Amino acid sequence: MQAEFKKRLFDRDLSLDLIRSDEIPSEIRFNVYRNNVHTSLIESLQHSFPTVVSLVGVDYFSNIAWHYIQQHLPTTALLVEYGVNFPEFVCGFVKNQKLDYLPDVARLDRSFIECANEADGEAIALETLAGWVSRPEMFERLCLCFTAPVRLIRSRYPIFSIWQAHQKSDMADRLSQIDLSKSETVLLTRPAFGVRSHQLEHAEAVFIEALLMGERIGQAVSRSGDIDLVSVLRLLIDEGAISALNGDC
Amino acid sequence: MNTRLNENRRVLAGGDRLPAKPGIGLKTQHLSALIEQRPEIGFVEVHAENYMVKGGARLYLLDCVRELYPLSIHGVGASLGGEGMLDETHLKHLKQLNERYQPQAFSEHLAWAEVDGRYLNDLLPLVYTEATLKRVTEQVDYLQNYLGRRILIENPATYLQFEMSNLGEPEFISELVKTSGCGLLLDLNNLYVTCSNHKLETDSYFDRLPLTAVEEIHLAGHSVDSLTDGMQLLIDSHDRSVCEPVWELYRKAIGRLGALPTLLEWDAQVPELMALVAEAKRADRYLLMASEAVCDAG
């Protein structure tokens, strides 16, 4: 019976003769549940993708979300996990519109939620690194283990600038001044309990991405080219992004 | 660098049971304000699913709240009325929350939300038959054994009845309570909404419930969907203050049952924290009057 009930939430052509009839039409009674299911899931997606909502407006976002819900219902009651593949879905939705950056902005929104809710963990202090710096041959062979909240989001579009504009009341003005041909990479960290965002230079982004893939410091440096190694490592450690140094990798 | 409370040093607020005082439904946006302002309320209640995350500020702030107030954890997603098996991962999360926060009460709903591995995020209605009763009793029993505690089940707000139902809702709840040994979370707004939507007498519905099993009361606001020909459906929207007829039901209920832990729920268009506290203060006045009446009678 419950499978039949569910079908009727999404298909208005099916009979509602499972409902006891009275003077209030069954359609009106059943519509309360249709509305509850759709509205609550749309609101959940709005909550998870606030920058996307600001960029396209509540009505247009709700339209995308409605279509998403028809194809992708949550698989668990943990709504914080709902919408993992929403950025890819948005990609298909905005094709041929001047919103090519929207899927990457959605990925950034999603990453904020993940970063905020990832597991707590101990991060290393700067002194831990200091012991290795004096031994360059061993230092270059180090791998870094990252704390769970760290996220790196690379984009062909200026997603950090767009996200920053979204934080301000004059978003439209600020958006109009952004050069949409610019690529940007964002690093998210959670040094205590608040999520912090950092825009990275290209070389820094390549370096940190290589480290996240498990490459040694020496390999990551040769991949990124000219980089201020001390300042990047200091940033990562100050931001609580590193949980361990591994000298045996 | 992340700080976590030292589990061994934690001193949790309250005793073994929720106090017979008003509490508020704690929204995540009010966590910091509650810790800073520390309003005089009896307890707080949180939705379990909002805290099913691996770490971060939310869990930490609830740790802090738990040291200040007795706690009720209220699940909305276990789908105890579902036709399938309970989701083991969800149960594991519930158990972890119960172990971490050691709430004075844990409650869930007489409803279903999950079918064929898809979660519909609403409290959907049950067909009231002997077969459903047997199934829900087994699920409640299973959850109680899994958590190692007695749970409370909340009476639902419904908008339709099924042709196939052949048991009344109060009778279904009475039998569930009797057979599973669970307690009843009496939601008076749900009772009012359900009775209005199905043209049932609130007094009769109330009298048929297992009143000795009531351990907590919920109060909330509802909206009115006006239809043609003067008909209406009440919607359990939790988006406004409690209406006068529900306050009247509350006074009658505690007049008969005595003072009970009473929760003010407000889940949509949520106002400032202190607006919820003001609603709780009104409940407190009625609770005081109910206690004085018992003393006078004694």
B116 — contact with chain A (CB < 8 Å)? yes
Window 158-197 of B, Cβ < 8 Å to A: 159-165, 197
| Best residue in B49, B74, B122, B190 for a mutation probing chain A (most A CBs within 10 Å) | B122
pLDDT for residue A96: 61
pLDDT at A1 over 90: yes
At residue B65 the predicted structure's pLDDT band, cuts being 50, 70 and 90, is: very high
Mean pLDDT of A129-134: 80
Alpha-carbon distance A243 to B1, whole Å?
Answer: 9
Alpha-carbon distance A111 to A109, whole Å?
Answer: 5
> Which has the closest alpha carbon to A110: A190, A182, A44, A49?
A49
Q: State the maximum Cα–Cα separation within chain B, in Å, rounded to a whole number.
A: 64
At residue A173 the predicted structure's pLDDT band, cuts being 50, 70 and 90, is: confident
B228 — contact with chain A (CB < 8 Å)? no
pLDDT for residue B4: 45
> Which has the closest alpha carbon to A2: B156, B175, B132?
B132
How buried is B278 (Cβ within 10 angstroms: 0-12 exposed, 13-18 middle, 19+ buried)? middle
Which chain B residue is nearest to residue A237, measuring alpha carbons?
Answer: B1
Helix (H) or strand (E) holding B277: helix B273-297
Angle at A52 between CA A49 and CA A57, to 5 degrees: 120
Torsion of CA B244, B228, B266, A56, to 10 degrees: -150
With contacts defined as CB-CB under 8 Å, which chain A residues touch B118? 6, 73-75
Alpha-carbon distance B107 to B90, whole Å?
Answer: 15
pLDDT for residue B5: 46
> Which has the closest alpha carbon to B50: B38, B42, B62, B39?
B62
At residue B224 the predicted structure's pLDDT band, cuts being 50, 70 and 90, is: very high
Number of other CB atoms surrounding residue A225 within 10 Å: 10
Torsion of CA A222, A227, A230, A236, to 10 degrees: -90
At residue A172 the predicted structure's pLDDT band, cuts being 50, 70 and 90, is: confident
At residue A33 the predicted structure's pLDDT band, cuts being 50, 70 and 90, is: very high
Alpha-carbon radius of gyration of chain A: 23
Hey, are the CB atoms on B162 and A117 less than 8 Å from each other?
A: no
Chain centre to alpha carbon of residue A247: 31
Whole-number mean pLDDT of chain A?
A: 93
Angle at B66 between CA A78 and CA A148, to 5 degrees: 45
- For residue A239 the two structure tokens come to 């931001």
Angle at A114 between CA A113 and CA A116, to 5 degrees: 65
Instruction: Give pLDDT tens digits for B194-208.
Output: 999 999 999 999 999
> Which has the closest alpha carbon to A165: A152, A151, A184, A145?
A184
pLDDT at B118 over 70: yes
pLDDT for residue B229: 85
Residue A152: half-sphere exposure toward Cβ, Cα within 13 Å: 18
At residue A109 the predicted structure's pLDDT band, cuts being 50, 70 and 90, is: very high
pLDDT for residue B1: 33
pLDDT for residue B79: 98
CA dist B186 → B217, B248, B263 (Å): 5, 15, 10
Please report the sign of the dihedral spanned by the C-alpha atoms of residue A235, residue A197, residue B3, residue B33: positive
State how far residue B290 is from chain A, nearest Cα, in angstroms: 36
Alpha-carbon distance B235 to B249, whole Å?
Answer: 18
Alpha-carbon distance B181 to B91, whole Å?
Answer: 19
Which of A41, A73, A121 is opposite residue B2, by nearest beta carbon?
A121
Which of B49, B57, B165 is opposite residue A77, by nearest beta carbon?
B49
B146 — contact with chain A (CB < 8 Å)? no
What is the pTM (predicted TM-score) of this model?
0.93
Alpha-carbon distance A222 to A209, whole Å?
Answer: 13
Hey, are the CB atoms on A123 and B231 less than 8 Å from each other?
A: no
At residue A202 the predicted structure's pLDDT band, cuts being 50, 70 and 90, is: very high
Helix axes B130-147, B169-180, angle to 10 degrees: 40
Mean pLDDT of A190-198: 95
At residue A99 the predicted structure's pLDDT band, cuts being 50, 70 and 90, is: confident
Which chain A residue is nearest to residue B49, measuring alpha carbons?
Answer: A78
Chain centre to alpha carbon of residue A122: 23
Window 12-31 of B, Cβ < 8 Å to A: none
Helix (H) or strand (E) holding A152: strand A151-155
- What is the value of ipTM here, to two decimals? 0.94
**More confident of the two residues B264 and A192:** B264
With contacts defined as CB-CB under 8 Å, which chain B residues touch A41? 121
**More confident of the two residues A174 and B223:** B223
Q: Is B164 helix (H, G, I), strand (E, B) or coil?
A: coil
State how far residue B298 is from chain A, nearest Cα, in angstroms: 47
**More confident of the two residues B8 and A68:** A68
State how far residue B185 is from chain A, nearest Cα, in angstroms: 21
Hey, are the CB atoms on A120 and B55 less than 8 Å from each other?
A: yes
Alpha-carbon distance B7 to B143, whole Å?
Answer: 26
What backbone torsions phi and psi does residue B231 show, to the nearest 5 degrees? -80, 160
Hey, are the CB atoms on A17 and B56 less than 8 Å from each other?
A: no
Hey, are the CB atoms on B2 and A3 less than 8 Å from each other?
A: no
At residue A129 the predicted structure's pLDDT band, cuts being 50, 70 and 90, is: confident
Instruction: Give pLDDT tens digits for B231-260.
Output: 999 999 999 999 999 999 999 999 999 999
CB B99 within 8 A of CB B152: no
Helix (H) or strand (E) holding A205: helix A202-212
pLDDT for residue B3: 38
